[in-house]
Amino acid sequence: MAGCGSWVFFLTVCCASLFEASSDIKVTIPVGKFFTHELFRETFQNDFEPLGKVYGILYNDPIIFKCNKQNFPDLPEWLRFTQRNPYDNGFLYGTPMSPGKSIIEIYATNQRSYDTVRHLLIIKVVPEKILPYQVEVFIKLREIEKVLPSTVQDEIKQDLQKLWDTEILEMINITNALDRGGRVPLPLAGHFEGVYVKVGSEEYFSKCLLRVLTPENKKQCKEEAKIKVPGECHFCINPSNCITWCKTELFDLTKMKPKPPAPTMGSGILEAGEDFKPLESPPNRDYFPDYIVTVIVPLILAIILFLLLAYVMFGRREGIGKRNARTNQIQLYHHYTIHENTDELRTMAGNRGAPPPLSTLPMFNSRTGDRASPLQSDSIPLIMAQQDPYSDTLPRK
């Protein structure tokens, strides 16, 4: 039993080493040629469930891919990754412009079991001559995920071979229109992002491609009129692969000016020459006018404002006091005349010869005309009259 267990352990280690070795993918691509690598979900699904096919258990789990350059947080500048949703395959694509070697780490995460698998993609870029004649076309009814599969690339390439009238044609680059400043389309049927496809060849442009450079074609594109494409230049088997003529550009690299040579690196030591002569000191400058404008003038204005405020607060208070005193005298005289008139009226009322009216006498009876003494026992207190409003308050004999 111990020997059987050791054999099982040995087979397990061998299988693990084989899986680890098979996870490293090595590719070699030339400079200036389009590179595409499709990440198939089925391959990573088998890594998550290696014995699923043996037991007849097949899963269709959502898988998310994440790619980056080894020991770096992101991909190289020429390489891009896209995956529309977890149930679609992922794509690594791009066009390298300089030779070198890149190790790409591919992490696949199973959203059902949260298992993670790591693969390595080793890309070696070798130098190669750049194709001198290149054409970039715009395909309006396509999206980047639908163009990257090899079968769709072959369809587009066949149409462009007929348009160029040559069989020697290489795919150079495929770019999403959103990466070139395009607008995000509406989430409706018939609306697509669009892609730019660039191809190259060693043969010169065909007559159909040269129509793009004619003044008539440029005028129609400027006026946004519908371009009339002749029948011999219409090579579009699949309507989704039809190009937009107004966005077609031709690149003739043979006529472009070569780049200036890179500067040569020196030793970093200055050559022998004359002694260093420092700059002469600047001439003397009189700062007194600046001092007057900056300090003296604001100080004078502050003093003037201070004197004006002091005059307003203290210089005119005497006149204001006199005016208030005069007003107080007028008010006192007014009150004095009121008291004097009141005393005069009281004196005139006291000197009247007629007796005072009966209604002014205490305890006056309006029915008999007599007045009763407030000390009589048969008088009814006022409080009782208030308690019984219907009682007779007159005295009875």
- Phi, psi for residue 304 in degrees, rounded to 5: -60, -45
Name which residue leads in pLDDT, 58 or 209.
209
- Confidence band (pLDDT; 50, 70, 90) for 4? very low
- For 371, which DSSP code? B
Q: What is the predicted pLDDT for the residue at 136?
A: 93
pLDDT tens-digit series, residues 249-268: 999 988 877 777 878 877 77
CATH number of 20-126: 2.60.40.10
- Cβ atoms of 104 and 143 closer than 8 Å: no
pLDDT tens-digit series, residues 173-182: 999 988 888 8
Question: Beta strand 24-30 with 116-126: parallel, antiparallel or unpaired?
Answer: parallel
Question: Which pair of tokens denotes residue 356?
Answer: 């005072």
Q: What is the predicted pLDDT for the residue at 370?
A: 60
* Residue 195 β-bridge partners: 139, 176
Name which residue leads in pLDDT, 37 or 259.
37
User: pTM score, two decimals?
Assistant: 0.59
Q: What are the structural domain ranges in the chain?
A: 20-126, 133-255
